[in-house]
């Protein structure tokens, strides 16, 4: 492949990203330096945090300029290598842009098992799955008897988190937007219940589903849900603060915590940054891989075909209209 396509920003992003903010450009095949690998991309991962990163609002990382490579994890096949740990034909996951052909830093890439579905290494076997495992097992320390409540439960992180909690003996209760997403949470993911927050009185429905209230709440959305859940939380409950989806694209003061409710509930607030747990990914994979084989862990993907579909698919994700993990199938 002497030329390939890449998706870049067409203009700086100052609000919620839309398809019109991107452009498809043609590139020549890049040269690779020492300890780098060249990868033919099979699948591109689209994740909510990218919306913030495109605006320079994520973990202090600068926003990419128009025409520069975009942040995004990919999985694909090595076609050239100048790194001793990787050979042509290996399958790897890492960051290399929204591109058909990308350069990965070999020291930051990871070889993957190609006998498993490749796209799963971007979802349940990748960053979203690791995020869920870290929050459920390492921070909240969920055990049998817990009532585990999670919002954005139809998403890649929320769906995996509820399944992990269920497999550890907890009751898994989800919050999601719309009947289709709630059906997915109850059906494919096996939660005991799921409440549609778009319906009037959803807070009462959550309270009913949780009976005496959740002992653990896994927060992916932001203040609107957290403020409603905190009065229901059991005394000495644990809250994992994982995501702020409703705040990522909104200008204004940052989200604040309901301090009085935290004190009254004697609650633990546990901040989760998945980067802290990358060195422990193998621990999650050792647990997740047999669970997948046994049917105790499943995943759903929202797949778009072809790199040119990435901008519209990302707009769909930014609008919360995806069902399952957002993936772009770049090549066979």
Determine the straight-line distance between the first and last CA of the chain, rounded to whole angstroms. Answer: 15
Short-list 233, 332, 320, CA closest to 51: 320
Query: What residues does 61 pair with on adjacent strands?
Result: 58
What was the pLDDT predicted at 47? 93
Q: Where are the alpha helices (H) located in 106-178, listed in sequence order?
A: 127-133, 156-167
Short-list 284, 302, 75, 286, CA closest to 188: 302
* Rama region for 233: left / alpha / beta (φ>0; ψ in -120 to 50; rest): beta
CATH architecture assignment, domain 127-275: 3-Layer(aba) Sandwich (3.40)
SS3 label, residue 129? helix
Short-list 55, 61, 105, 115, CA closest to 83: 105
What was the pLDDT predicted at 52? 87
Question: Which two three-digit tokens encode residue 39?
Answer: 């990868």
Question: Which two three-digit tokens encode residue 181?
Answer: 């997403």
What was the pLDDT predicted at 244? 84
Query: What residues does 219 pair with on adjacent strands?
Result: 241
Taking the C-alpha atoms of residue 51 and residue 6, their distance in angstroms, rounded to an integer, is 18
CATH match of 3-122+300-329 with 3.90.180.10: yes
Question: Which two three-digit tokens encode residue 92?
Answer: 């790897």
What was the pLDDT predicted at 253? 67
How far is it between the farthest Cα atoms of the chain? Answer: 63
pLDDT tens for the 332 residues of the chain, in order: 589 999 999 999 988 899 999 999 999 999 999 999 999 999 999 998 899 899 888 777 899 999 999 999 999 999 999 999 999 999 999 999 999 999 999 999 999 999 999 999 999 999 999 999 999 999 999 999 999 999 999 999 999 999 999 999 999 999 999 999 999 999 999 999 999 999 999 999 999 999 999 999 999 999 899 999 999 999 999 999 999 877 776 666 677 888 999 999 999 999 999 999 999 999 999 999 999 999 999 999 999 999 999 999 999 999 999 999 999 999 97
Query: What residues does 271 pair with on adjacent strands?
Result: 241
What was the pLDDT predicted at 251? 66
Short-list 74, 132, 178, CA closest to 274: 132
What was the pLDDT predicted at 56? 87
Q: Is residue 184 a contact partner of residue 154, using CB atoms and an 8 Å limit?
A: yes
**Domain definitions of the chain by residue range:** 3-122+300-329, 127-275
Question: Is the overall model pTM greater than 0.85, yes or no?
Answer: yes
The reply to whether 127-275 shares the fold of 3-122+300-329 is no
Short-list 220, 214, 221, 160, CA closest to 191: 160
């Amino acid at each position: 492949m002497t030329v390939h396509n890449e998706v870049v920003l067409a203009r700086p992003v100052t609000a919620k990203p839309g398809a019109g903010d991107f452009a498809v450009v043609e590139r020549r095949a890049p040269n690779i330096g020492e300890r780098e690998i060249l990868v033919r991309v099979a699948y591109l991962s689209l994740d909510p945090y990218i919306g913030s990163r495109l605006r320079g609002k994520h973990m202090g990382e600068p926003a990419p300029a128009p025409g520069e490579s975009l942040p995004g994890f990919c999985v694909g096949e090595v076609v050239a290598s100048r790194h001793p740990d990787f050979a042509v034909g290996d399958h790897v996951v890492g960051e290399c842009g929204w591109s058909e052909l990308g350069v990965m830093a070999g020291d930051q890439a990871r070889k993957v098992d190609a006998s498993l579905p490749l796209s799963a290494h971007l979802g349940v076997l990748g960053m979203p799955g690791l995020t869920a495992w870290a929050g459920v097992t390492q921070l909240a320390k969920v055990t049998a008897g817990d009532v585990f409540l999670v919002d954005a439960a139809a998403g890649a992180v929320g769906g995996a988190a509820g399944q992990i909690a269920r497999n550890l003996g907890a009751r898994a209760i989800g919050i999601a937007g719309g009947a289709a997403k709630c059906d997915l949470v109850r059906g494919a993911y096996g939660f005991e219940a799921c409440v549609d927050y778009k319906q009037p009185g959803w807070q009462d429905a959550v309270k009913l589903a949780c009976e005496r209230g959740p002992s653990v709440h896994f927060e992916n959305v932001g203040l609107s849900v957290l403020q409603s859940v905190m009065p229901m939380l059991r005394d000495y409950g644990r809250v994992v603060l994982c995501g702020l989806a409703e705040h990522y694209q909104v200008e204004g003061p940052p989200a604040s915590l309901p301090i009085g409710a935290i004190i009254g509930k004697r609650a633990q607030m546990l901040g989760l940054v998945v980067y802290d747990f990358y060195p422990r990914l193998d621990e999650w994979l050792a647990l997740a891989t047999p669970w997948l084989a046994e049917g105790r862990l499943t995943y759903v993907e929202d797949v778009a075909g072809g790199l040119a579909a990435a901008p519209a698919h990302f707009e769909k994700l930014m609008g919360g209209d995806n069902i399952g993990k957002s993936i772009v199938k770049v090549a066979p």
